Structure 1
């Protein structure tokens, strides 16, 4: 008589264990939505209004090749820079200078602009709406035989003679260089 009771008990424990495993395998119902703000566990630092004095003008020099993820990271840095200064009431003058392989930022955006899941074109447009300029090196276009129409949302006034010379010129005018 003891054997049937032990057998029933073992079957019941096995069923409970399987139920627990099945429950663990289910996705969490109460998980935070993807757009919920993440709490890193430390309060955001407070800064004085003059904290970013002298940092209002920035040039971001992009000369390396990358994929959409890498370029989104660079553009995300520019967004964060603008946001940080905006929080203190400062307006940013940001210019992204692309030469060499960096021109591929706009080429890739052009290639994927019709893809529904492409983020790069939208981020470029968003930054342009915030006043960010995107300068393209003429030497790179001519030297690499890149047609102007291969670039996303570029205008003739965005073309500069030399990317590296433009970075130097902007630095002499008080722009701070960021090199991602």
Structure 2
């Protein structure tokens, strides 16, 4: 097998150059093509006058705003890009009857909690008769007060005094 491969390789090297020369010479010979006339280019019709924006489709979709409208609606940025960010904080809600200040609400697992500050201290309260989240947690609510509900989505809590529901108060 090695002998036949060597023989074919030598034959290909010997005959490749003459065959390539014949192909090139044969391609260059022959009659020169005659010049052909291209067909005339059709004249473009005048553009139609622009109409107003298309009306909303009958299926109830509204068209998206254009890029210019979006750029005009968005502010260009801060005056000082290296300056501090402007932070807007919600004011804490205070219940005048208990002196309780609601500073936040959160969801821990499935348990709703409210962060409060009282004249006796700060901490977390949960729903229940004394508002404690655990047996070892300190009692933050005054005697007779209990937590009826904590609305995490709205940031509100509802207390009861001696089992009488009070108005809810929320973080402003």
TM-score, normalising length from structure 2?
0.23
Task: State which structure, 1 or 2, has the greater radius of gyration over its C-alpha atoms.
Answer: 2
Higher helix share: 1
Choose between structure 1 and 2 for higher RCO, CA contacts under 8 A separated by at least 6 residues.
Answer: 1
TM-score, normalising length from structure 1?
0.23
Higher strand share: 2
